[in-house]
């Protein structure tokens, strides 16, 4: 995540979403940069926008925080009006529509679960929306994809997916100067909703 001005699109960060059998794992690192300068080591890039939905952000901090607030409010209003949770596709479409109307300097993941299962959507700054079983964004994504392509499999368990996400984010922190300073991970399932992963579990996953 970059804090510099919007004259150039910057996506210095690492975020990830992985589906598994029964849910999704979503995560992001903590570092914010201004060019080559580490501006902040504890920036939030993973946002809960509903009990079954999460957002990760890469790009300008102000745009990312504004979108997170807007999406959380829209999801909450939808649930109050409809008496049901918004689907992952619905949240991705809502996000894409917001960005197509007023582009933001961000790259996003919308990650969550609904009765159709777990989903990961990559959303670009102009509102393009692409679904996948797993996805990585930001400047650290090439390093994460090296780990993901080797380790991902269909019908992974929750613990396997958490470990894979942790290893992927760790790989980006080792090689990408704009990523690092720890990570946040969360697991989303229909049964338990959005649950933050303990840092102790993340640490254990990285030493296996």
DSSP sequence for 160-179? HHHHHHHHHHHHHHHH-TTS
> In this structure, are residues 200 and 38 in contact, taking their beta carbons and an 8 Å threshold?
no
Best CA proximity match to 161, nearest among 25, 23, 15: 25
- Give the active site residue among 11, 13, 56, 95: 13
Burial class (CB in 10 A: 0-12, 13-18, 19+), 82: exposed
13 is annotated as an active-site residue: yes
SS3 state at 60: strand
- Rounded CA-CA distance 192/45 in Å is 22
Round to the nearest angstrom and report the end-to-end CA distance of the chain.
Answer: 29
Catalytic residues: 13
């Amino acid at each position: 995540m970059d804090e510099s001005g919007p004259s150039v699109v910057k996506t210095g960060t690492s975020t990830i979403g992985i589906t598994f059998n029964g849910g999704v794992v979503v995560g992001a690192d903590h570092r914010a940069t201004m060019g080559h300068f580490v501006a902040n080591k504890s920036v939030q890039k993973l946002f809960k926008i509903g009990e079954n939905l999460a957002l990760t952000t890469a790009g300008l901090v102000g745009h990312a925080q504004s979108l997170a607030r807007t999406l959380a409010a829209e999801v909450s209003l939808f649930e109050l009006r409809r008496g049901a949770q918004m689907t992952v596709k619905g949240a991705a479409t809502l996000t894409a529509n917001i960005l197509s109307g007023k582009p933001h300097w961000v790259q996003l993941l919308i990650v969550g679960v609904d009765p159709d299962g777990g989903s990961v959507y990559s959303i670009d700054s102009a509102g393009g929306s692409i679904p996948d079983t797993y996805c990585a964004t930001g400047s650290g994504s090439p390093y994460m994809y090296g780990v993901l392509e080797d380790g991902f499999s269909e019908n992974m368990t929750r613990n396997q997916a958490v470990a894979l996400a942790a290893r992927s984010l760790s790989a980006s922190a080792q090689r990408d100067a704009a990523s690092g300073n720890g990570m946040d991970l969360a697991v989303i399932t229909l049964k338990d909703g959005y649950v933050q992963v303990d840092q102790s579990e993340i640490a254990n996953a990285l030493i296996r």
